[in-house]
Amino acid sequence: MELLEVKNLGKKYRDFRLEDISFTLPKGYIMGYVGQNGSGKTTTLDLITHVCKTKEGEIRVDGIRYEDDPVRYLESIGYIGEELLFPSDFTLKEIRAVMRSFYRGFDTARFDGLVGRFGLPEKKKVSTFSQGMSVKLMFATMLARQTKLLIMDEATNGLDPVARQEVLGLLQEYVADGEHSILFSTHILHDLEQIADYIYFIDDGRMVMYDAKDELLEGYLIVKGGLELLDDTLRGQLIGIEEHAYGFEAVAPSDLADMLPRGIVYEKPDIDRIVIHFIKNKNRIAVEKGAEGGRI
Amino acid sequence: MRAFKYMKLDFIKSKKWNLVCSVLALGIGVFAGNALSDAYSYLMGLIYIMFFACVISTAVFSEGTGKNMSVRSAFTLLLPGSAVQRVGGRFLYGIVEVWVLGICYMIVTLVSGKTDISGSQALLMLLLVVSVTVVLTDAQYLICYLTGSGVKSLYLLKLLRMILPMSAYFAATNILSVIEEQGIQYAWIMDAVAWLGKHPSVGAAGALLIAAVFTVLAVLIASAVCSRRDYA
């Protein structure tokens, strides 16, 4: 059974629409959820955590919908965001008391062990914690519970490289037993290259691409060459062409490699470059349709 | 019951604010001036404490304002529980707040010997006034839930929290002053008070029942709103 199932999820705001978002996440895997600012990433995560509500679509975590058993549904989910969610004047004592009260199976000894491991101060208010300490605190509360799905919303933004590596290590530990999964929304695509198994790319409230990371990296190439080689046929086959004074760069399907004209070079892509070129491609289509007077 | 966990959470979140304001309110209400020697003065002091309780109990709605309101309220929303449990816990917090302050006022005034009224008279006044305050607090909470995160300004939020209890407080004290000065013209009120004095159990039970029914209705309405609204 899939740990997370999202089917035809949608939500309408005055000036934004999330439409027909569908994906599944099996146990033991990490999915990167990527997109530009305002693309709908946080909206999707807020809908999964039921902080936002919608009547469009269905979400199941470990087979359960929120409507069937809200307590079990929310107990299964751990959430770590960019900002610390605890009331600012809480200390670890209050956090421990609240976690113990609300979560069945909250392991106080494990929490204390993690707090010690992360070096978090017992008596200070959490508002005084640095970004790195805040993320580690949220990890400690999450790992001491019996969660199944971890949702991370830009949680590694603002962390220094050392702290980020520590966090990535924790994420890999979390899924190592094959019973837990992570849905990880981030701008820092380099992090996803290291740990993600799947990539879901959303733009303007809709899916652009959804595939296994390895398939994506194997399925596309970065191609470069001189502008004189960029004929109409080639233009039609490339994605997100960037033209410069000295040449062009674009993404192309891997099976195009043998058919590329002489003078064009190709190399293995990274997730960053694939996403950037896909966004460029979407913007180009939007501009062209606008110029033709068509609807985007 | 999970609602009690949410109630406990609200008390943890507001404990410093509660302690300071409650001690201050009791201090002013009990020990200020020559208050409380007769029933009228005792009642005025109790109304003052209840006004305070109503205002203090809405402080938990200021979990954040404007841009960060959704982030701060997400802490409570991510805790495992349904909308009814969450909202029920909030209402329980408000009701317990009001009752605790009322009972503390009664105990302190009786023990300190600052009042001449009997324990049963004090209890009857407590039950009646607290029941009315519970209804006011429920209404205030309902306003807070219905306006929700639509109110971005902290100042406007504070104003909304004060309007109902302030209006009720000034209305109650003015009515009591007018009755005291022009008692004969409000004979029907004096008759009602006399009836209550002869049937304290019925009067108190009726007030408590009305407060309980109002609370249940308010919780159901607020829960229905929260189950449909984002960040609520």
The mean per-residue pLDDT over the stretch A118-124 comes to 94
In this prediction, residue A296 has a pLDDT band, given cuts at 50, 70 and 90, of: very low
Q: In terms of pLDDT, which residue wins out, A173 or B150?
A: A173
Q: Lay out the sheet containing A239-244: strands in order across.
A: A239-244, A247-253, A220-225, A265-267
Can you name the CATH fold of A217-291? Alpha-Beta Plaits (3.30.70)
Q: Chain A: nearest CA to B89, how far in angstroms?
A: 13
CB contact under 8 A, B68 and A83: yes
Residue A160: predicted pLDDT:
86
In this prediction, residue A37 has a pLDDT band, given cuts at 50, 70 and 90, of: confident
CB contact under 8 A, B230 and A51: yes
Question: With contacts defined as CB-CB under 8 Å, which chain A residues touch B229?
Answer: 53
pLDDT digits 0-9 by tens, B42-84: 888 888 889 888 888 888 887 654 444 555 568 899 999 999 9
Q: Chain B: nearest CA to A78, how far in angstroms?
A: 9
- Strand, helix or coil for residue B155: helix
In this prediction, residue A293 has a pLDDT band, given cuts at 50, 70 and 90, of: very low
CB contact under 8 A, A79 and B78: yes
Question: With contacts defined as CB-CB under 8 Å, which chain B residues touch A51?
Answer: 70, 74, 77-78, 230-231
Give the CA distances from residue A151 to residues A147, A155, A202, B227, in Å, rounded to whole numbers and listed in that order: 10, 9, 16, 22
Residue spans in chain A of domains classed CATH 3.40.50.300: 2-204
CB contact under 8 A, A101 and B9: yes
Q: Chain B: nearest CA to A102, how far in angstroms?
A: 7
| Nearest neighbour of B12 by CB, restricted to A71, A73, A97 | A97
Residue A85: predicted pLDDT:
86
Q: Chain A: nearest CA to B204, how far in angstroms?
A: 35
Q: In terms of pLDDT, which residue wins out, A113 or B112?
A: A113
Structurally, how many domains does chain B consist of? 1
- Strand, helix or coil for residue A183: strand
Residue A295: predicted pLDDT:
33
A261 DSSP 8-state letter: P
ipTM above 0.85, yes or no: yes
| Nearest neighbour of B80 by CB, restricted to A46, A85, A102 | A102
Residue B152: predicted pLDDT:
64
In this prediction, residue A137 has a pLDDT band, given cuts at 50, 70 and 90, of: very high
pLDDT digits 0-9 by tens, A170-213: 999 999 999 999 999 987 888 888 899 999 999 999 998 899 99
CB A51 within 8 A of CB B74: yes
pLDDT digits 0-9 by tens, B87-109: 999 999 999 999 999 999 888 88
pLDDT digits 0-9 by tens, B196-226: 777 888 888 999 999 999 999 999 999 999 9
**In sequence order, what DSSP letters do the residues of A104-142 get, joined into one string?**
TT--HHHHHHHHHHHT--SSS-GGG--HHHHHHHHHHHH
What is the domain extent for residue B155? 2-228
Can you name the CATH fold of A2-204? Rossmann fold (3.40.50)
pLDDT digits 0-9 by tens, A63-95: 999 999 999 999 999 999 988 889 888 999 999
Residue A236: predicted pLDDT:
87
CB contact under 8 A, A102 and B78: no
